[in-house]
């Protein structure tokens, strides 16, 4: 299909902005926008055409808590102690990295013990391991990397969420964008061939993000929850 044909481009952009382009077609269109400047610009034009309609709706003041939550998520103010784990990368990252070294040492120790007791001898020994912990340093996932297999097991501490998925990322040491390694299990064990990128030495850490069902819609982590070192064994 020629997406550059003007009439089709307008029809798709209009229904994307209107919201009637749904499902896989919508996702495909989002991808096309990332690839084509012309398609992005057509979309912007339709946003200008149609979103003036939104301004005819009589305003309704949102509850005060909405602003408080925005301030919390952006790290402008401290979250109350009862706040859930889901905090934006913006404020969590620095906190996570601050406690990084201590957690890394503890993680290596924990994984050494767990690994020693749980892997049958015939399984190829992992070369690297990581433990993804929650805020209270309770392990959520155990990750083992061997030359052939990437194995992830979730622990009982992990609470599955029906409305979200957890996605695993490799954070390159050179500061480039994280690379997705797939969705994490929310129970039981998950195994796949080790992606070649995981066998290179320049890995800063593994990260886990919270995503809409099916994983990140943008190709970048939406909300980083946890960062774990990948240590050699």
**Residue placing its CB nearer to another protein in the complex, 27 or 105:** 27
Backbone Cα Rg of the chain: 22
Query: Judged by CB under 8 A, does residue 53 bind another protein?
Result: yes
Member of 2, 35, 63, 113 binding another protein (CB under 8 A) = 63
Member of 4, 5, 8, 20 binding another protein (CB under 8 A) = 20
Q: Within 10 Å of residue 60's Cβ, how many Cβ atoms?
A: 5
Q: Please report which residue ranges of 19-168 form alpha helices under DSSP H.
A: 23-35, 37-50, 64-73, 89-98, 100-118
Query: Judged by CB under 8 A, does residue 82 bind another protein?
Result: no
Structure tokens at 135: 């805020």
- Compute CA distances 191 → 147, 188, 197, whole Å: 13, 10, 16
Taking the C-alpha atoms of residue 28 and residue 30, their distance in angstroms, rounded to an integer, is 5
**Residue placing its CB nearer to another protein in the complex, 64 or 193:** 64
How big is the site for another protein, counted in residues (CB under 8 A)? Answer: 42
Sites for another protein among residues 99-118 (CB under 8 A): none
CA-closest candidate to residue 115, choices 91, 131, 97, 100: 131
Taking the C-alpha atoms of residue 96 and residue 215, their distance in angstroms, rounded to an integer, is 22
**Judged by CB under 8 A, which stretch of 49-57, 144-152, 187-195, 198-206 contacts another protein?**
49-57
Query: Judged by CB under 8 A, does residue 125 bind another protein?
Result: no
Supply the DSSP string of 188-206, one letter for each residue: SEEEEEPPGGGGSS-EEEE
Residue 176's φ and ψ, nearest 5 degrees, are: -70, 170
Query: Judged by CB under 8 A, does residue 163 bind another protein?
Result: yes
Query: Judged by CB under 8 A, does residue 36 bind another protein?
Result: no
Minimum CB separation of residue 211 from another protein in Å reads 11
CA-closest candidate to residue 39, choices 81, 8, 78: 8
Query: Judged by CB under 8 A, does residue 34 bind another protein?
Result: no
Query: Judged by CB under 8 A, does residue 50 bind another protein?
Result: yes
Member of 1, 52, 117, 136 binding another protein (CB under 8 A) = 52
**Judged by CB under 8 A, which stretch of 121-129, 135-143, 193-201, 210-218 contacts another protein?**
210-218
Query: Judged by CB under 8 A, does residue 130 bind another protein?
Result: no
- Compute CA distances 79 → 63, 83, 231, whole Å: 18, 6, 31
**Residue placing its CB nearer to another protein in the complex, 47 or 176:** 47
Taking the C-alpha atoms of residue 99 and residue 25, their distance in angstroms, rounded to an integer, is 43
**Residue placing its CB nearer to another protein in the complex, 6 or 156:** 6
Contact positions toward another protein, by CB under 8 A? Answer: 10-11, 14-15, 17-20, 22, 41, 44, 47-63, 65-67, 69-70, 73-74, 76, 88, 90, 163, 212-213, 217
């Amino acid at each position: 299909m020629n997406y550059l044909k003007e009439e089709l481009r307008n029809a798709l952009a209009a229904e994307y902005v209107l919201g009637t382009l749904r499902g896989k077609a919508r996702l495909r269109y989002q991808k096309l926008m990332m690839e084509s400047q012309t398609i992005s610009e057509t979309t912007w034009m339709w946003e200008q055409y149609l979103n003036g309609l939104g301004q005819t709706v009589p305003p309704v003041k949102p509850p005060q808590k909405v602003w408080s939550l925005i301030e919390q998520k952006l790290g402008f103010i401290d979250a109350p102690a009862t706040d859930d784990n889901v905090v934006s990368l913006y404020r969590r990252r620095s906190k996570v990295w601050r406690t990084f070294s201590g957690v890394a040492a503890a993680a290596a120790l924990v994984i050494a013990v767990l690994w020693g007791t749980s892997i049958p001898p015939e399984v190829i020994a992992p070369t690297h391991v990581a433990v993804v912990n929650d805020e209270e340093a309770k392990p959520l996932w155990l990750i083992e990397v061997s030359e052939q297999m990437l194995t992830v097991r979730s622990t009982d501490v992990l609470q599955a969420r029906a409305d979200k998925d957890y996605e695993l990322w490799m954070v390159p040491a050179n500061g480039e964008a994280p690379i997705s390694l797939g969705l994490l299990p929310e129970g039981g064990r998950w195994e796949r061939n080790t992606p070649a990128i995981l066998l290179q030495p320049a890995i800063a850490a593994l990260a886990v993000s919270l995503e809409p069902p099916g994983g990140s819609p943008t190709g970048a982590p939406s909300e980083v929850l946890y960062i774990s070192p990948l240590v050699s064994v």
